Amino acid sequence: MKEWLVKAWAMVPHIGFLWPMFLWLLLLVPLAIALYVLFLRRRKKSALRYANLPLVKDAMGAVGWRRHVPPVLMLAALALLLLAMARPTALVSLPSTRATVMLAMDVSGSMRAADVKPSRMDAAKAAAKEYIKGQPKDVLIGIVAFAATALMVQSPTTDRLALNAAVDRFELQRGTAVGSGILVSLSTLFPKEDFPINNFSRRGFGDGGFGGGFNRFGGGRALGDRAAANREPKKKHVPVEPGSYKNAVIILLTDGQTNAGFDPIEAARIASEYGVKVYTVGFGTTKGNVVGFGGFSMRAQLDETALKKVADMTRGRYFHAASAEDLKSVYSVLSKQLVIETKEVEITSFFAGFAALLMLGAAGLSLAWFGRVL
């Protein structure tokens, strides 16, 4: 019983008021009740003056509970109208105002591992396409691919065919630059801002032997490939509250540890200063899997600690997907989180409308039962 009550209470929307100072007017409700009781007493005293019983009943009005129904409905309508004057609001779930979702996907050689059938890469592609298919038509989706470096392979668009084609063009490369994937996503969301996407972290990740492999994607914009010289000097960005930016989010999927590019923790700090949430998805197992690629063998080992920190710093959330089905489930959860969000909405019209219905009901019942309006 207790659990049921808790669930029922959780379903009740939080009510707030834009003009709470008008709530003092609710004191008129008990005043109206007192006046009604006083009226009934005076009417009763007046009725006792009559000796004839039919005349007493006529003076007192209708006998029984029905005579109180119209006045009670009118008092309830009065209370609702007074509440409406305070401009009530409620927290309700509505379609998200977020306009853009950036998918930053790991295309490092470790993604060819077959511990997820048919391979990690094929499973990631299939899940990404399912996610794209399930998004509302007006949601913009962009795709960033990263290995030792990162680039935007598809600018944000509502064209689902173009997005699927971009996913199909993924080619595996060496290295894993998680931080670079975050920064290129940010540079896509804020094209007028200057991000340190050409700077590597002090870990000395280097280019990981990646070379120019990403050029094979076709149409992609390489990391840091901008006309910076043609830009006007920009004012220093003023940091905002982490997770406060509502127009875009980043979903980052990787199966390995960072060994190239920009420090992911530093990249997360930058994302947090722009208020962008980064949802991280660790794909694969923490034990890792030995994979042969380009004549070399490598162990792809998931760095959950870093991914959790990235999500925490940006007010996002970390997910672990050890299989293709897990990854589909993660994308399903993300769809619900990103498409629906809780907002404060003014509901004054509902209060006023319900009050009007109560008034009409009170007048109608009084007319039907007693032949008069109250």
Range name among 56-70, 173-187, 199-213, 299-313 with the lowest pLDDT average? 199-213
* Residue 166: per-residue pLDDT: 93
Q: Is the pLDDT of residue 272 over 60?
A: yes
Tokens of 277: 């949430």
Q: Which two structure tokens, joined as six digits, stand for 337? A: 């989180």
What pLDDT does residue 164 have? 92
Range of the domain at 254: 96-322
Phi, then psi, of 193 in degrees rounded to 5:
-95, 155
Q: Is residue 164 part of a domain?
A: yes
Same domain, 225 and 305: yes
CB proximity list for 74: less than 8 A, separation 6 or greater: 358, 359, 362, 374
For the domain that residue 119 is a member of, what is the CATH number? 3.40.50.410
State how many domains the chain has. Answer: 2
Residue 328 is assigned to a structural domain of this protein:
no
The pLDDT assigned to 155 comes to 92
Name the maximum alpha-carbon separation found in the chain. 115
| b/e code 34-54 from CB counts within 10 Å (16+ = b) | eeeeeeeeeeeeeeeeeeeee
> Quick one: which of 147, 255, 263, 266 has its CA closest to 208?
147
State the helix-helix crossing angle for 69-85 and 348-370, rounded to 10 degrees: 160
**Whole-number mean pLDDT of the chain?**
77
Both 69 and 135 in a single domain? Answer: no
Residues 247 and 261 in one domain: yes
Q: Encoding tokens for residue 205?
A: 């990740």
| Amino acid letter for position 177 | A
In a domain, 122, yes or no: yes
What is the pLDDT, as a whole number, of residue 109? 81
Smallest CA-to-CA distance from 98 within 244, 301, 242, 307 is with 244
Asked if 139 and 247 count as a contact pair (C-beta separation under 8 A), the reply is no
**332: in domain:** no
Q: Average pLDDT for residues 193-211, to the nearest whole number?
A: 53
Residue 64 is predicted with a pLDDT of 65
Same domain for 248 and 107, yes or no, is yes
pLDDT surpassing 80 at residue 277: yes
Distance CA 259, CA 270 (A): 19
Query: Cα dist. 329→93, 167, 281, 334 in Å?
Result: 21, 19, 11, 9
User: Looking at the structure, do residues 166 and 206 belong to the same domain, yes or no?
Assistant: yes
Q: What angle do CA 51, 52, 55 make, to 5 degrees?
A: 115
Residues 316 and 172 in one domain: yes
Query: Across residues 120-127, what is the average pLDDT?
Result: 87
User: What are the phi and psi torsion angles at 144 (to 5°)?
Assistant: -115, 130
Dig out the tokens for 87 from the structure: 């401009």
Does residue 175 sit in the same domain as residue 260? yes
Which tokens sit at 339?
């498409």
Q: Are 44 and 61 in contact (CB under 8 A)?
A: no
- pLDDT tens across 297-323, in order? 555 667 788 899 999 999 998 988 877
In angstroms, rounded to a whole number, what is the distance separating the alpha carbons of residues 254 and 228? Answer: 30
210 plus 315 within the same structural domain: yes
Instruction: Note whether residue 218 is domain-resident.
Output: yes
Residue 241 pLDDT greater than 60, yes or no? yes
Task: Answer yes or no: do 62 and 48 share one domain.
Answer: yes
Decide: helix, strand or coil at residue 22: helix
pLDDT tens digit sequence for 90-106: 877 666 656 789 999 98
Residue 337: band (very low, low, confident or very high) from pLDDT cuts 50, 70, 90 = low
Q: Is residue 338 part of a domain?
A: no
In a domain, 308, yes or no: yes
pLDDT tier, 366 (very low <50, low <70, confident <90, very high otherwise)? confident
Per-residue pLDDT band for 284 (boundaries 50, 70, 90) equals confident
- Claim to verify: residue 25 and residue 159 sit in the same structural domain: no
| Together in a domain, 33 and 57 | yes
Task: Verify that 70 and 113 share a domain, yes or no.
Answer: no
